[in-house]
Amino acid sequence: MDEPHWLDEREARVWRQYRALMRELQSAQDRQLVRDSGLSGADYALLVPLSEAADGVLRARDLGLEIGWERSRLSHQISRMEKRGLVAREPCPDDARGSMVRLTPDGRAAIEAAAPAHVETVRRYFFDPLTAKEVDVLGALFEKMLGALGR
């Protein structure tokens, strides 16, 4: 077996910084959402694509693909949100085994109320520390890295 190509000191430092940044950004967003809207980060993750979908409806499978969750996690989260009246499950007209997820009026009201403070948090911690040129460079880097992952 070949010896791993270990990270050098600089790469290890940048990797640790990236991991800390992701953890701290997620934590700041989650705290803000719960404090200002009562929504969890998982609630918000599901409500965004539903709010952007035609008629507020997506096939559960497509919703899971969009947010990068496996079926079990998605199903449990949908069940929690159904109990709170944020979403409703419906039969899939094309596939008896599938289901559709519909944004309810309460769910739409929740995402519309949560979005302004959420975007302010994203702006404050992610974009405001950067110049416009740095945002462009970061976008190009993200595109390059996502390309390497086949996305």
Q: pLDDT digit string (tens) for 81-101?
A: 999 999 999 998 887 788 999
Second CATH level (architecture) for the domain 9-122: Orthogonal Bundle (1.10)
Q: What are the tokens at 40?
A: 């969890």
Domain segments of the chain as ranges: 9-122
Question: Cα–Cα distance between 115 and 121 in angstroms, integer?
Answer: 10
> pTM of the predicted model, to two decimals?
0.88
Instruction: Give pLDDT tens digits along the chain (151 positions).
Output: 788 999 999 999 999 999 999 999 999 999 999 999 999 999 999 999 999 998 999 999 999 999 999 999 999 999 999 999 999 999 988 877 889 999 999 999 999 999 999 999 999 999 999 999 999 999 999 999 999 998 7
Residue 67: its pLDDT value, please? 96
Residue 70: its pLDDT value, please? 94
Residue 52: its pLDDT value, please? 97
Phi, psi of 35 (to 5 degrees): -65, -45
Cα distances (angstroms) measured from residue 113 to each of 15, 43, 119: 35, 13, 11
Q: What angle do CA 112, 47, 56 make, to 5 degrees?
A: 85
Residue 22: its pLDDT value, please? 96
